[in-house]
Structure 1
Amino acid sequence: MKFTAVVVIAPPELEDPAIEVAQRAGATGVTILEGKGIGGQQKKTFFGLTFEGSQSVLLMVVGTHLATPILKALHEILVDGDNSRGIAFNVPIEHLTGIDPRQLVKFEEYMRRENT
């Protein structure tokens, strides 16, 4: 089976909704990291103090066949008209070790349900 890493970078208030839609689309596990980011716009300042927004970084290792459905589901909560509230992308995984064999069983069960 081939795997892909799906990465989501979004504001903390979208963390739970992003996890929920990703799991409904087939993701079984999520690693959550905290980060700070600087976007393409000028940093906001308040009385000379710079404000950098905090971000949640979600990392999911999924079967390659699940990457597109997960990204489509994430698009619904990350993009609001012309406004983007986060970014999601996938990266193919060439080699992988340490994955829980129970995760493989979940992937296979998901595939059977999708094909019936």
Structure 2
Amino acid sequence: MLKKFLCSITLLWAAAASGAVDVNKATAADLDSVKGIGPSLSGKILDERKKSNFKDWPDFISRVKGMGDKNAAKFSSEGLTVNGSSLKGDAPAAKAPAAPAPAGAAASTAAPAAVKK
């Protein structure tokens, strides 16, 4: 019975330890536990967080020097979250697609018509 109890406690501890690390709640040690984040980057994250919490992934990427889209995607896949949300896709949501041209407007990328002389 004692072995089963200890096994259950160990499994619960392991599940809790492998959970997501939120940048707005994490300590330096928590951030360092994410693969690819070392003391230098965790220090930058904590310094920026002292100013104010991160709102979302685009805010996090823009405020932390050295944090780009690729690193954000890598860290998100390793369990890093911002306000409990992982980065969806390879690019942050801040990069919105270009708005479509108004109806009836000529496309600016169209090749010019040939002019006969």
TM score, norm. by length of structure 1: 0.28
More strand by share: 1
More helix by share: 2
Which structure has the greater CA radius of gyration? 2
* Higher RCO (CA 8 Å, separation ≥ 6 residues): 1
TM score, norm. by length of structure 2: 0.28
